[in-house]
Structure 1
């Protein structure tokens, strides 16, 4: 499969892009082109790659009628402001560029429902700390999961215990999903994003990601949901930052390390199909032990248990595995 196009869109600065999009008619043009786009059309399967013959663009008259604008001259002016960066002109008419699609997707994902939410609902999942039922709710574009009994593994901003995770989740994700489905979808959506961050590629803009460790000094969660200093159970957190689009991901090193192929192989040798973007990974992460073993240079040790065996990984300051040791309780054959 190839990518690329003969007609590359022009480059706009952020200020210029905001200025171009700061008009209701131009947003309506992008929305109309998105609505008339047919993803199943072979001409659209691999957009702008010249792998398929055909031009599925929208004609000027179809676009004009779809937007419902009353002045042809002004409409043409607004369309020209979008052309070359958000809209591409072809022999057959007009279509969205990839930048235009990103704008349309962001608007659709965030506004398809008005203030969607569901109240606290018990789902078929058990707390990794006490095995009690998990309760989920959705508010402010976030799925939150909490233990129905114990103090959980996080404190919220007010210092209240019980939180297991809080993940962003676009309102479109609730469409045709029960709270149980949304719980698993939010995990898959966010853990897949985190995996992209771990691989060094921003899932939102494809820029290089800056990765670092945040270590809580004098960490002491006690029997609370989180340490009073950092509000979390885990002392070591991975921070992933994209300075291109300012996307951020933060989470326990004990979960991030479970994306490593050495861990996948370790579980496989024990007959476990390890899928990173799942509730099972989140649960397994709570049994992983993490410690700093050297400060200069920085070395951290991660111990992954499975049955009676242990996988011990030593990581350097870039979180690359520099040593992997399997500690086996007995000789096994697989």
Structure 2
């Protein structure tokens, strides 16, 4: 890992990676191989690929193609195809992550009651600047902002965006809980905020958790209850109670919104999260890495 936090031993260095695709011809090569991938998946020969891209100078084409091998393009038995990295680059472009300079937006709308017990306001959702933002129109509860690619918004009716966006945000949380960074796929380390040397203690009475990527340095802060999303114990209890949590937007996830959390021990660290599921209060005990070590 370099001093700025970017991996060099298992991936392409950032500056070099950008340089490899800094050419219209190379982008066209990647796009052509994407078309091949989705049509027959067999790859393309040098001559087939050059014809698709439309470059008459064979030497010039070979130079640019060679720059993409092996990071973005794979060569096997004289045929070329995209590597996972190359396919991911094009997939991100299709999602609008790179190409939406003036992306879509969805005006703020009320979607349900605020989950804060002493608030009569409504949970609000809006989409702008590539983020789905959840808040309240009355109280000053901590707002949530989740990165959602433009394609998720553009491929759905505006009225459906809050629910679809919520499903996407829950997927992002589950990905983090399984230990993968949503940006670089690197390893996530979870720490209770009050025991982390670089962060302030918990906010608004919750037990805050810092989810920090050891590769790229990306981090986010959430309540300890969020680490239970997707855990087999909560999934099983919810299903037994007749709830498919995947189909419920997070502002209607009563078990999550009404859960309480507190640190019950500091050596070793233990966090108790109590959540109402199926009419019963269930207690989950988490360790310092926010793994569930017991539940009842």
Larger radius of gyration: 1
Name the SS of the counterpart of 1:251 in structure 2. strand
> What are the within-5 Å matches in structure 2 for residues 108-119 of structure 1?
108-109=94-95, 110-119=97-106
Decide whether aligned partners of structure 1 residues 284 and 197 sit closer, same or farther in structure 2, where only a CA change above 3 A counts.
Answer: same
> What are the within-5 Å matches in structure 2 for residues 8-19 of structure 1?
12-19=12-19
For 1:230 and 1:85, the matched residues in 2 are separated by 42
Q: Contact between 1:213 and 1:239, CA under 8 Å: does it hold in 2? A: yes
Kindly report the root-mean-square deviation, in angstroms, between the aligned alpha carbons of the 2 structures.
3.1
Name the SS of the counterpart of 2:215 in structure 1. coil
Which residue, 276, 293, 308 being the options, matches 2:264? 293
The alpha-carbon deviation at position 210 of structure 1 amounts to 1.3
Partner of 1:189: 168
- 5+ unaligned residues in a row in structure 2: which ranges? 1-9
2:294 counterpart of 1:319:
no
Which residue, 50, 64, 87 being the options, matches 2:73? 87
Decide whether aligned partners of structure 1 residues 209 and 255 sit closer, same or farther in structure 2, where only a CA change above 3 A counts.
Answer: closer
2:93 counterpart of 1:107:
yes
Q: Contact between 1:274 and 1:281, CA under 8 Å: does it hold in 2? A: no
Which residue, 234, 238, 251 being the options, matches 1:263? 234
Partner of 1:208: 187
Q: Contact between 2:43 and 2:81, CA under 8 Å: does it hold in 1? A: yes
Partner of 2:63: 77
Partner of 2:141: 153
The alpha-carbon deviation at position 285 of structure 1 amounts to 1.9
Q: Contact between 2:121 and 2:139, CA under 8 Å: does it hold in 1? A: no
Aligned length in residues: 281
Name the SS of the counterpart of 1:27 in structure 2. helix
Q: Contact between 1:153 and 1:232, CA under 8 Å: does it hold in 2? A: no
Partner of 1:50: none
For 1:284 and 1:131, the matched residues in 2 are separated by 19
Compute the TM-score of the two structures, normalised by the length of structure 2: 0.80
Decide whether aligned partners of structure 1 residues 259 and 81 sit closer, same or farther in structure 2, where only a CA change above 3 A counts.
Answer: same
The alpha-carbon deviation at position 310 of structure 1 amounts to 1.0
Partner of 1:180: 159
Partner of 1:158: none
Partner of 2:6: none
Which residue, 45, 51, 59 being the options, matches 2:45? 59
For 1:111 and 1:83, the matched residues in 2 are separated by 22
For 2:247 and 2:219, the matched residues in 1 are separated by 19
Partner of 2:115: 128
- 5+ unaligned residues in a row in structure 1: which ranges? 1-9, 45-55, 155-162, 218-228, 326-334
The alpha-carbon deviation at position 246 of structure 1 amounts to 3.9
